Structure 1
Amino acid sequence: MAEEKYELITRNLQETLGGDIIKAILAEGKTPKGYWGTACTGRPHIGYFVPLTKVADFLQADAEMTIYLADIHAFLDNMKAPLELVGHRTKYYKFILLNVFKSLGIPTSKLKFALGSDHQLTKEFNMDNYRLCATVTEHDAKKAGAEVVKQVDSALLSGLLYPGLQALDEQYLGVDFQFGGVDQRKIFTFAELYLPRLGYKKRAHLMNEMVPGLAGGKMSSSDPNSKIDFLDAPEVVRKKIKAAFCEEGNVAENGILAFVKTVLIPVSELRLENARKGGSLLEPTGDLKPFATDDAPEGTVFTIERDEKFGGSTHYASYDDLKNDFAEKKLHPLDLKTAVTNAINRLLDPIRKAFAEDEEAQQIEKLAYPVPEKKQKKPKVYHPPPPGKGRNAQAPADGAVPDAAASHAAAEEAKQQPAGSA
């Protein structure tokens, strides 16, 4: 039983540090406690499906999970989220994430939410932070945050505090493991090194792989072309997927394939497993069918629907089968994109619906991400040019006196001539 739970906790991860810590807890028949955190800066996007889908495995293994909204971190991270907006954004994140869990069918009753400010503003935490600052070198702090904190010239001191605060979060949240992307690895090893120096125990660290954005590279909240927002309309999703990089036969840095691997197929597997266990794993909230057609063979986790004149639908029992077909150009990018677009819209439909029906959430979203005011251009005032100047003025002939001077000279000459002279 303990081995099965450990397999659930660690499956599909890119790396596990301190796995023996979790094994020991399970061997004693105890419940491991973990957390996944996010800084509430930009709008959450579908890349969040990757860690949130994995949270379902933790819950299946009876782990107690905390969803940690790092509001203080959001403020410290190079002012990505001004302090006056952080409170609104944490509320927006909570609404979205709860509805993502519902979209996946993950029971939210087994989850709890926590804010960084709940403990990071206490006297005890601040004293521990000072103790940590008296131990950590500038080099180690900067190195730990290199993959997470935005690197700029003349960096703010806040970026150096970021890794230490995250390390101390493990102690103050009372967890046995922290879960995050592999880009968090340096912060995780920082925590393993420095928490024991403060007299606190070392925690395990679980890392999932990073999903490439739609244009290749990291999926980023600050790059609208690299990601799809949870509230993007179906036609916007279709347009973004259509424009995504997905070269025929190329399986490297392919955001479409990566999303199938890390989200769509794990969701399908979870739903198939739920069906086999009589619906005991997931909450019956909406569409809980795998991403396979009704006529697909048993065990299908993903179906590419095609017209019979193009060879008919193809059913895949694993990601490797799909990937191999794509690499061998048996699966065309357009067919893959169509299937992925439909699957993503199925996942997003209940989230969009919940938002459309919740006026409070709509108001929170406006406060969290206000539309920047456009700077009004000052009206141009026309100033006529002086006499003889400007675009339409004629240039004087060679040796001629300019118009204004000539007029003045003619007037003086007229004054000196006697009346009636010609």
Structure 2
Amino acid sequence: MDIEKRIELITREPIEEVITQEDLRKLLQTKDKPWAYDGFEPSGLLHLGSGILRAIKIQDLLDAKLGFILWIADWFAWINNKMGGDLNLIQKAGEYMIEGWKACGVDTKKLKVLWTSDAADDKEYWKGVLEVAKQTTIQRTIRAGTIMGREEKEMLYDAQIFYPCMQAYDPFYFNADILQLGMDQRKVMVLSREIAPKLKRTPPVICAHHLLIGLQGAEAGRMTADVKMSKSVPKGTIYIHDSKKEIEEKINSAFCPEKVVEGNPLLEIWRYIVFRKFDSRTIERPQKFGGNLELQSYGELENIYKEGKLHPMDLKKGTIEALDEILAPARKHFEKGKAKELYEIVKRAEITR
């Protein structure tokens, strides 16, 4: 596979920002199989963004002949007081997440699944973390602390200072060449690049992905991390094991103004998920309203909706049918065995921000 095709696959949506294109090209020219990674705090149920969209992008990277690391950041969730700060419960949630990614189509045999708790047993890991801390000011670390989903003013206790330093060092610990995390993690990804020369390491390439908007929508120009789909806002989130009835209730209540494209969560679902899972899709509607609508691309859907040729209720019905079909394998995966047991444990747990 030539470099241009590999770059196309790596930077394909939902990738939103690459730092830098030149560094990415050089990496592919000099290393046969670079490694990318994404890290997750085990802190609740997987949704469209953390489950389905994550699986879609991982497949792009595997198709581009990259290695991929899923970093189960259990100690990060513990520091961040997720799930009531119960480390054992957090680790059960990590096991659930692995089952969830399998249910969404990730072949875990083709990538590495690593745990922060394993790295925590290695003194070399902590040596690297402290080296980052020695090279970073407290104020710089506090600014990066927003990656925890908290404002700077919420950085109140000492353990929180470790979090950005740990994450900034992580890619160097397991030799990741590409940081393929969400846009909400941008500050610490930039810190990793800045700190790399001081650690005598090559700055990793950033390929930051878009954050799927929650069903509450986003105001025009306000496409920020606080409106992303999140397990802490259940009514604004489609979980990977939601029933068709649950999908219907949530989608029918979703923000979806007529002719409005920007900040419309349903159009986001079609752009980043539906048209990545299907080459074409039909939205059924009564003949008196124009009959069934055959769609070949997201661009076609966006233009039709913007022009008012598709009513929000018809878009909602089409979204419900598409998601029900996409999530059917995940629902089935969690009906029995270990997957069901882990799902029940996480579902019953306290979800804390």
* Shared fold, TM over 0.5: yes
Displacement of 1:371 in angstroms is 5.4
Aligned equivalent of 2:88, options 65, 84, 88: 84
In structure 1, what is the Cα distance between the partners aligned to 2:213 and 2:348? 28
Structure 2 residue aligned with 1:377: none
Q: Does 1:364 align with 2:336?
A: no
The residue aligned with 1:239 is: 249
CA drift of 1:47 comes to 1.7
Query: What residue in structure 2 maps to residue 198 of structure 1?
Result: 199
Aligned 8 A contact 1:25 1:31 in 2: no
| SS of the residue 1:368 aligns to | helix
Residue 53 of structure 1 is matched in structure 2 by 56
Structure 1 residues 134-145: aligned runs within 5 Å: 134-145=134-145
Say which SS state the counterpart of residue 181 (structure 2) adopts: strand
Counterparts of residues 325-336 of structure 1 (less than 5 Å): 325-336=304-315
TM-superposed deviation, 1:241: 0.6
Query: Are positions 1:185 and 2:186 aligned together?
Result: yes
CA distance in 2, matches of 1:364, 1:34: 27
Higher helix residue share: 2
| Helix, strand or coil at the partner of 2:233 | coil
Q: 1: distance between equivalents of 2:204 and 2:57?
A: 19
**Separation (CA, whole Å) in 2 of partners of 1:191 and 1:224:** 33
Query: Within 5 Å, which residues of 2 pair with 1:22-33?
Result: 22-28=24-30, 30-33=32-35
Query: Which residue, out of 334, 354, 361, partners 2:333?
Result: 354
Q: Tell me if the contact between 1:78 and 1:150 (Cα under 8 Å) persists in the aligned partners.
A: no
Partner Cα separation in structure 2 for residue 115 and residue 234 of structure 1: 34
The structure showing larger relative contact order (alpha-carbon pairs under 8 Å, at least 6 residues apart) is 2
**Which stretch of the first structure deviates more once superposed, 325-334 or 306-315?**
306-315
Further displaced range: 329-338 or 126-135: 126-135
> Is the 8 Å Cα contact of residues 44 and 346 (structure 2) preserved in structure 1?
no
Q: Does 1:64 align with 2:67?
A: yes
Identity %: 29
The whole-number CA distance in structure 1 between the counterparts of 2:187 and 2:281 is 35
- For 2:176, what is the secondary structure of its paired residue? coil
The separation in 1 between residues aligned to 2:44 and 2:111, in whole angstroms, is 23
Q: How far apart, in 2, do the equivalents of 1:145 and 1:57 lie?
A: 30
Q: After superposition, what is the alpha-carbon deviation per residue over 1:308-327, rounded to whole angstroms, capped at 9, x for unaligned?
A: 23211112222122111111
Cα offset, 1:366, TM superposition: 3.3
Tell me how far 1:113 sits from its aligned partner. Answer: 1.1
Matched, 1:341 2:320: yes
Q: C-alpha separation between the residues in 1 aligned to 2:54 and 2:18?
A: 14
Go from structure 1 to structure 2 and tell me whether the alpha carbon gap of 1:371 and 1:184 turns closer, same or farther (over 3 Å shift). Answer: closer
Q: Give me the whole-angstrom Cα distance separating, in 1, the residues matched to 2:123 and 2:140.
A: 25
Q: 1:245 to 1:10 in 2, by over 3 A?
A: same
Question: Retained in 1: the 8 A contact 2:240–2:330?
Answer: yes
Question: What TM-score do you get using the length of structure 1 for normalisation?
Answer: 0.75
Query: Aligned partners of 2:33, 2:304: CA distance in 1, in Å?
Result: 41
- Report 1:165-314 matches (<5 A): 165-216=166-217, 217-269=227-279, 301-314=280-293
Q: Which amino acid aligns with 1:237?
A: I
**Secondary structure, counterpart of 2:201 in structure 1:** coil
Q: SS at the partner of 1:65?
A: strand
- How many angstroms does 1:362 deviate by? 2.3
2:342 and 2:12 map into 1 onto residues whose CA distance is: 36
Measure the CA separation in 1 of the matches of 2:9 and 2:303.
Answer: 26
Indicate the residue corresponding to 1:42 in structure 2: 44
Write the deviation string for residues 233-253 of structure 1: whole angstroms up to 9, x where unpaired: 111111111111111111121
2:142–2:155 CA contact under 8 A, matched in 1? no
CA distance in 2, matches of 1:353, 1:60: 26
Q: Take 1:61 and 1:239, find their aligned partners in 2: how far apart are those partners?
A: 38
Aligned to 2:117, the other structure's residue is in SS state helix
Aligned counterparts of 1:366 and 1:342: Cα–Cα separation in 2: 26
CA-CA distance at 1:92 after TM superposition = 0.7
Deviations 1:263-314 (A, max 9, x none): 1112224xxxxxxxxxxxxxxxxxxxxxxxxxxxxxxx23212232321111
User: Quick check: which has more Rg, 1 or 2?
Assistant: 1
2:236 alignment partner, SS class: coil
Q: What are the Cα deviations for residues 359-408 of structure 1, in whole angstroms up to 9, with x where unaligned?
A: x2222233334357xxxxxxxxxxxxxxxxxxxxxxxxxxxxxxxxxxxx
In structure 1, what residue type is equivalent to 2:247? V
Name the SS of the counterpart of 2:112 in structure 1: strand
Q: What's the CA shift string for 1:11-44, capped at 9, x where partnerless?
A: 2221101333332232246112111221111221
Check conservation: 1:18, 1:203, Cα contact below 8 A.
no
Amino acid paired to 1:66: I
Number of positions where the alignment pairs a residue of Structure 1 with one of Structure 2:
336
Alpha carbons of structure 1 residues 110 and 153: separation in structure 2 relative to 1, 3 Å? closer
Counterpart of 1:367, as a letter, is I
Give the superposed CA RMSD. 1.8
Ranges of 4+ aligned residues in structure 1 off by more than 3 Å? 78-81, 106-109, 366-372
- Worse overlay, 77-86 or 135-144: 77-86
Structure 2 vs 1, CA of residues 220 and 200 (structure 1 numbering), >3 Å: closer, same or farther?
same
Shift of 1:147: 4.4
TM-score computed with the length of structure 2 as normaliser: 0.89
Gapped runs of 5+ residues in structure 1? 270-300, 373-422
Query: What amino acid maps onto 2:317 in structure 1?
Result: T
